[in-house]
Amino acid sequence: MCANAPILVVDDDPSLRALVASTLELEGHAVLTAPDGTVALSFFEEFQPMMILLDKAMPGMDGPGFARELRARGFATPIVVISGSEGGQRFAREINAEGYISKPFKLPQLISTVEDLMTKCRSRLTTDFGSAT
Express as a percent the part of the chain with pLDDT over 70: 90
Question: pLDDT band at 15, cuts 50/70/90?
Answer: very high
pLDDT beyond 50 at 133: no
Q: Would you tell me how many other CB atoms lie within 10 Å of the CB of residue 67?
A: 24
For residue range 43-57, what is the model confidence (pLDDT) as tens digits?
887 898 999 999 999
Q: Would you tell me how many other CB atoms lie within 10 Å of the CB of residue 35?
A: 18
The domain ranges of the chain are: 7-126
DSSP per position, 61-106: S-HHHHHHHHHHTT----EEEEE-STTHHHHHHHTT-SEEEESS--
pTM here is: 0.89
Architecture of domain 7-126: 3-Layer(aba) Sandwich (3.40)
Question: Is residue 57 classed as helix, strand or coil in its secondary structure?
Answer: coil
- On whether the CB atoms of residues 68 and 61 are closer than 8 A, the answer is no
Q: What pLDDT is attached to residue 46?
A: 87
